[in-house]
Structure 1
Amino acid sequence: MVPGPAWKSPDIVARTGAFPKPDTAAGGRTAYSTSKLAAIYLVHEYARRLPAGVDAVAYNPGFVPGTGLARNAGPVSRFAMRHILPVMTLTPFATSRGAAGRYLADVVLGTTEAPTGSYVDRARAARSSEESYDPQSERELWDAAERITAAYAA
């Protein structure tokens, strides 16, 4: 349902319309997956920069039907997300909203072991995609975020 990320320079991905056909579901889904990659990049960079005792962890609840992710999709996709795909939470292929919340709470409370810089997939720390381990992209994104937000610093 969601294509893989299409990483580009942070100055490009920070702009509206960074991906082909931005007004389509495919363009929006590419932006979505790319934003998830960016979040993991930032977690890795935060883990390097934050002082000891302050942790940064990426959390993936898995596919969670019923969250409104497809609210702007076509009628068939919206129908499926509301009425058919919630049944998938009875399988390992999807997570209920309640379970996703419990898994996240376990990470925050330290019940799920997740050292700083970790990627937690539902209830366990796991290795994220190979693409998400790119120190150069992590630094470039950090530097771009610093530059873009500098005007708003107090």
Structure 2
Amino acid sequence: MVPGPLWKYPDVLARTGAFPRAHTTAAGRTAYSTSKLATIYLVHEYARRLPAGIDAVTYNPGFVPGTGLARNAGPLSRFAMRRVLPLMALTPFANSRGVAGRHLADVVLGATEAPTGSYVDRGSAARSSEESYDPQRERELWDAAERFTAAHTRSVPQSPCR
């Protein structure tokens, strides 16, 4: 249902129309999967940079029908997502919103062991895709995020508590 990511330099990804046939559902789904890859890259970089005691992990709830992911899809896809695919939550191939939420709570509360930089797939830490381990892309994305936000962070007043 969702194509694999199509990584490009962060300055390209930050702009609309980064993917071929930008107006299509396929391009939107590619942007979605690419944003998930970017999240993993940033978490790896956070794990290297954050002080000890502050952890960053990524969480994949798996396929969770009923979340509105296909709200802008065609009528047939919307019907399937609302009426047919929720039945998949009765199988190992999907989770209900409640189960996905419980797995997330377990990660946040420490009931699921997930050291900093981990990728948690549903209820346990797992290895993410081979593509998601690329320190050069992780640094490039971090540097780009700093550039993109630099003007905004200079204009935000600092808290007197710092």
Q: What's the TM-score bracket when you normalise by the shorter of the two chains?
A: over 0.9
Structure 1 residue runs without a partner (length 5+) = none
1:126: Cα distance to partner?
0.1
Q: Which 4+ residue blocks in structure 1 deviate beyond 4 angstroms? A: none
Give the paired residue count: 154
Partner SS, residue 120 of structure 1: strand
Residue of structure 1 equivalent to 2:15: 15
Tell me the amino acid that sits aligned with residue 27 of structure 1. A
Structure 2 residue runs without a partner (length 5+) = 157-162
Residue of structure 2 equivalent to 1:44: 44
Q: TM-score, normalised by structure 2?
A: 0.94
Q: TM-score, normalised by structure 1?
A: 0.99
Residue of structure 1 equivalent to 2:131: 131
Residue of structure 1 equivalent to 2:27: 27
CA distance, structure 2, for counterparts of residue 118 and residue 17 of structure 1: 31
CA distance, structure 2, for counterparts of residue 95 and residue 151 of structure 1: 41
Alignment of 1:75-154 (within 5 A): 75-153=75-153, 154=156
CA distance, structure 1, for counterparts of residue 113 and residue 38 of structure 2: 23
**What's the % identity of the aligned pairs?**
82
CA distance, structure 1, for counterparts of residue 141 and residue 65 of structure 2: 30
- C-alpha distance after superposition, 1:101-154 (max 9, x if no partner): 000000000000000000000000000000000000000000000000001002
RMSD (Å), alpha carbons: 0.4
Tell me the amino acid that sits aligned with residue 31 of structure 1. A
